[in-house]
Amino acid sequence: MRKAFISPSKYVQGEDELLNLGYFVNLFGKTALLIAHSDDVSRVKDKLDSTKRKFGIEFVESGFRGECSRQEVARLKELAKDKSCACTIGLGGGKAIDTAKCVAEGEALIIVPTIAATDAPTSHSAVLYTEDGAFDDYAYFKQSPSVVLIDTSVIANAPVRFLVSGMGDALSTYFEARATSNSYSNVNAGLPCGYREGVCGEAKGTNTALALAALCYQTLMKDGLKAKISCENKCVTQALENIVEANILLSGLGFESGGLGGAHAIHDGLTILEGTHKYYHGEKVAFGTLAQLVLENAPMSEINEVLNFCLEVGLPVCLSDIGVDRLSQEDLMAVAAKACIPEESIHAMPFPITVESVAAAIKTADTIGSNHKKNRGV
């Protein structure tokens, strides 16, 4: 059996770590292309200026236009070439990070998240969009970022909702990896590089990835609420450090090398409902996790543990929590059908999948979550 595991070459996390960014730039040269939204640059400008002086490096500002499109990637590649940039830095949220991945193509790449809202920073994949923001394609590169650098003091000063959304994304990691392991399905770590053309890498997940996914879940249960309170107070505690690691590193390694399952596919189905569009990825994945647990007939004790955690930190537990107050049978079946298209990760579940069974799981999860809220007086 062929197995695969992929990870960044170096992961560094701590307070004020942005002050050391210049050290990592110097591993490649003196000039780095900085791909970041102007607002994110403004948030950390003092630290960027300090690390430039300390390590004698230069940042080439990219004027990032905010969309990870083929046109923007081509423009930035040309800029990096013209300015003889030795490496690429993706600083900020998902779009800047994915654009940096596409520009670097797996070479000399430093990722600096300013929020802990998803597990994308460690991965070797990116999502491409059109210029007007519609989905275009997935891209996979030969290796993960060279360096992932996390400044937890920056994370602590970001809006709390980002951290909580990241916990929602991380919440699915163990359950999806468990399902993928039980079904012996392929994982993203085996995918070839380049823009995807329907070719899937034939590689299964490792025991290491499953263990990391389990640790991710354990960390959320132990430190999630304390980390949220720390972020509300804009301070760094050990609990916050642990949750940042869970949201970004443990979940990132867990999803890519452990596999995705029903939760993310149900998330993708839910995106066809207009009411969900103002909610973050991790918020919708949290409900998708509950629906996956119903789909696989998980023990009620496990479902209740997830429900209690979600309510504790402020994650959705029912459809109304993600902007869907009414769902017709027609819309429900459309969501389920979208979640079940052939290329979706729901087919990694260790049993046959039908549109009807997924629709039933979504409807049942919604009722269980709504009732749990009422019983808890929420």
As given in the structure block, the two tokens for residue 73 are 């990637």
Phi, psi of 369 (to 5 degrees): -65, -45
- Residues 37, 124, 264, 372: which is the catalytic one? 264
- Residues 37, 124, 151, 169: which is the catalytic one? 169
Q: Is 37 one of the annotated binding-site residues?
A: no
Q: Is 338 one of the annotated binding-site residues?
A: no
Is residue 281 flagged as an active site residue?
A: yes
Instruction: Return the DSSP state at 297.
Output: T
Residue 149 to residue 11: CA distance in whole angstroms = 6
Q: Is 96 one of the annotated binding-site residues?
A: yes
Rg (C-alpha) for the chain, rounded Å, is 20
SS3 category, 186: strand
Q: Is 165 one of the annotated binding-site residues?
A: no
SS3 category, 260: coil
Residues 6+ apart with CB under 8 A from 201: 4, 186, 188, 189, 190, 191, 192
- Residues 37, 124, 281, 372: which is the catalytic one? 281
Q: Is 321 one of the annotated binding-site residues?
A: no
Q: Is 123 one of the annotated binding-site residues?
A: yes
**β-pair partners for 151:** 14
Q: Is 97 one of the annotated binding-site residues?
A: yes
- Residues 267, 268, 366, 372: which is the catalytic one? 267
Q: Is 95 one of the annotated binding-site residues?
A: yes
Residue 54 to residue 72: CA distance in whole angstroms = 31
Q: Is 277 one of the annotated binding-site residues?
A: no
Alpha helices, DSSP H, located in the chain: 21-25, 38-43, 45-55, 70-82, 94-104, 152-156, 160-183, 207-232, 238-245, 251-258, 262-270, 281-295, 300-313, 329-339, 355-375
Is residue 169 flagged as an active site residue?
A: yes
Burial 166-177 (b: 16+ CB within 10 A, else e): bbbbbbbbbbbb
Kind plus residue range of the DSSP H or E element containing 147: strand 147-151
Q: Is 94 one of the annotated binding-site residues?
A: yes
Phi, psi of 244 (to 5 degrees): -60, -45
Q: Is 124 one of the annotated binding-site residues?
A: no
Q: Give the Å distances, CA to CA, from 64 to 26, 99, 248, 340.
A: 23, 9, 23, 35
Binding region for glycerol: 119, 169, 264, 281
Binding site, annotated residues for NAD(+): 94-98, 123, 129
Residues recognised as catalytic: 169, 264, 267, 281
